[in-house]
Amino acid sequence: MHWRVTNETRQRLLADRAERAESFVQRFQGLMGRASLPMGGGMHIEPCNSIHTFFMRIPIDVAFLDAEGRIVKQLSAMPPWRTSSIYFKARSVLELPAGVLGASGTQEGDRLVFSPSEAPGA
C-alpha cells in the first residue's frame, strides 16, 4: 500500500506514493541501495527517532514527526553516509526526495497527515 502525505498546515502535497516501514527488517533496510527516489515517493519509518544514510546513493529530505504528526526536526538534502542525532520527541520519520521540504515551504511545527493513496501499482 502507498500513502499520500499532505502538509496540513500549508495545504501542500509532499508525496502520493510513500511507502511505510514498520517491521524491523523494513525499518533497517529503508531506502538503502536504491538508485533514486522519484518525486511523489517517500518512506515513512515507524517507530523511529534517528536515521542513517549508510549504503544510500542519494541525498534525502528528512522530517522527524511526533505522535501527532508534527515536525519536531527537519533536515534538508541529508547526504549519503551520515547519521542524524536522536530526537527524543520524534515517534516516526518521513524520508523524501531532496528539495521537497524546501519547495513546499514545509517547516518545523507543521502537521503532516497520512492517508491511503490510489497511486498506480498501489
Question: For the chain, what are the domain ranges?
Answer: 2-117
> How far apart are alpha carbons 45 and 32 in whole angstroms?
13
For 2-117, CATH gives 2.60.120.1140
Residue 122's pLDDT is what?
A: 42
Tell me which amino acid residue 72 is.
V
| Set of cell numbers at residue 49 | 527517532
Check whether 85 has a pLDDT greater than 60. yes
Average pLDDT over residues 78-97: 97
Backbone angles phi, psi at 11, to 5 degrees: 55, 50
Contact predicate 44/22, CB 8 Å: no
Question: Rounded CA gap, 44 and 19, in Å?
Answer: 6
Q: What is the CA radius of gyration of the chain?
A: 13
Percent over 90 (pLDDT), the chain: 75
